[in-house]
């Protein structure tokens, strides 16, 4: 086995203390407080045929089990067991204080500070990212502090919470700071995940659409931008099951997988990157498709290995199993590109 230093570009260690009490809905509050109750409700919903609801409750149970671990260090220890020794982890925090669910128990500054301490103790294995909700001046100031004072390695944004990726606080303050320091940004890019309270799906999708990044690329061509989740499983499913009518450019733009592939080709060697987190881990049967996509040089040079732990706690297959299947399917050279070389380039280390 060749020696590869894996960098997992997308994991989370935030805990219950960073998730507002009323997320995702006030009715969920008793479920989060009483995990046994949540399990009972989930089973009842599944029997009643309410699968989507049952899945939502299942997600809450996972949040409780891993999120209730109490300290970010304990969650990190769970991830580290799944990978070879020496694997590095880009850790992405969450700022959920402005999504309409009330304040989490711990403010963003405390979450950043704990992550900074974790990174300091990790001998370089934890690469901490700051996060921000640009609608809040306090959050913007805190993200600046994490980058300037704590020395964080990049920025995570989550437009589905209710802001565009070209929000003026990002465009005018934080992106220039990242460019100046040679640091990257990662943006949630799938139709799943957390949606700001009261936000319509159409609006949330418009904020998350890969093409919402075009004004950012235009204004900050030197910024390295990762579109997380490669568009997400709903669009991979549509691409695989329904396909796309030949020559229908609009349909390719509407499908976020096709849209990202087209953007990577159109901006070959440019500012856009994509990570395979969650999407490939939740649906291992996508692996052969990924292999074919990666045969395109422009796509291969901009794809990043990432898993989305601990969201992956809700899928049956372990990260270790998917990672090894990925390595076998792609072969050593391509696996090394997405898991070692590309992350180092994206992070600005090469
Ligand atoms: Zn994630």
Helix (H) or strand (E) holding 91: strand 88-91
Residue ranges of the domains in the chain?
Answer: 7-21+71-346
Question: What is the full per-residue pLDDT of the chain (350 aa) written as tens digits?
Answer: 568 999 999 999 888 788 887 676 655 555 555 656 666 766 666 666 677 777 777 766 766 666 666 688 988 998 999 999 999 999 999 999 998 888 888 999 999 999 999 999 999 999 999 999 999 999 999 999 999 999 999 999 999 999 999 999 999 999 999 999 999 999 999 998 888 989 999 999 999 999 999 999 999 999 999 999 999 999 999 999 999 999 999 999 999 999 999 999 999 999 999 999 999 998 999 999 999 999 999 999 999 999 998 877 767 788 999 999 999 999 999 999 999 999 999 999 98
Q: 311: CA distance to ligand 1 center in Å?
A: 7
pTM for the model:
0.89
Q: 246: CA distance to ligand 1 center in Å?
A: 33
pLDDT at 41: 66
> Is residue 173 classed exposed, middle or buried when 0-12, 13-18 and 19+ CB atoms within 10 A define those classes?
middle
Q: 137: CA distance to ligand 1 center in Å?
A: 24
- From the candidate CATH numbers 3.90.226.10, 1.10.287.110, 3.20.20.140, 3.40.1160.10, the one assigned to the domain spanning 7-21+71-346: 3.20.20.140
Would you give the DSSP letter of residue 161? G
Q: 251: CA distance to ligand 1 center in Å?
A: 26
DSSP string, 228-287: EEEE-HHHHHHHHHT---TT-HHHHHHSHHHHHHHHHHHTTTSSEEEE-TTHHHH-GGGH
């Amino acid at each position: 086995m060749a020696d590869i230093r894996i960098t997992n570009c997308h994991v989370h260690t935030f805990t219950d203390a960073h998730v507002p009490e009323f997320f995702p809905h006030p009715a969920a509050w008793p479920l989060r407080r009483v995990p046994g109750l949540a399990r009972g409700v989930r089973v009842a919903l599944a029997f009643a045929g309410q699968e989507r609801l049952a899945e939502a409750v299942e997600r809450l149970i996972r949040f409780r089990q891993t999120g209730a671990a109490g300290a970010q260090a304990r969650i990190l220890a769970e991830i580290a067991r799944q990978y070879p020794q020496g694997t590095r982890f880009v850790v992405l925090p969450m700022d959920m204080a402005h999504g309409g669910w009330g304040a989490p128990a711990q403010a963003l500054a405390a979450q950043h500070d704990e992550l900074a301490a974790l990174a300091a103790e990790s001998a370089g294995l934890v690469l901490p990212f700051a996060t921000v909700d640009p609608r809040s001046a306090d959050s913007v100031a805190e993200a600046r502090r994490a980058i300037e004072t704590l020395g964080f390695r990049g920025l995570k944004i989550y437009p589905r919470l209710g802001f565009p990726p070209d929000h003026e606080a990002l465009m005018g303050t934080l992106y220039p700071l990242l460019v100046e320091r040679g640091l990257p940004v990662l943006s949630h890019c799938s139709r799943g995940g957390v949606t700001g309270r009261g936000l319509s799906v159409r609006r949330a999708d418009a904020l998350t659409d890969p093409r919402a990044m075009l004004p950012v690329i235009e204004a900050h061509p030197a910024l390295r931008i990762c579109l997380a989740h490669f568009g997400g499983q709903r669009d991979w499913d549509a691409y695989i099951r329904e396909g796309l009518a030949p020559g229908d450019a609009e349909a390719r733009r509407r499908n976020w997988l096709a849209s990202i592939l087209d953007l990577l080709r159109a901006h070959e060697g440019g500012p856009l990157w994509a990570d395979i987190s969650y999407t490939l881990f939740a649906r291992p049967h996508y692996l052969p498709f990924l292999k074919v996509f990666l045969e395109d040089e422009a796509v291969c040079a901009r794809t990043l290995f990432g898993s989305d732990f601990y969201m992956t706690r809700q899928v049956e297959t372990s990260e270790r199993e998917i990672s090894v299947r990925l390595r076998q399917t792609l072969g050593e050279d391509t696996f090394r590109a997405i898991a070692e070389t590309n992350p180092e380039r994206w992070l600005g280390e090469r």
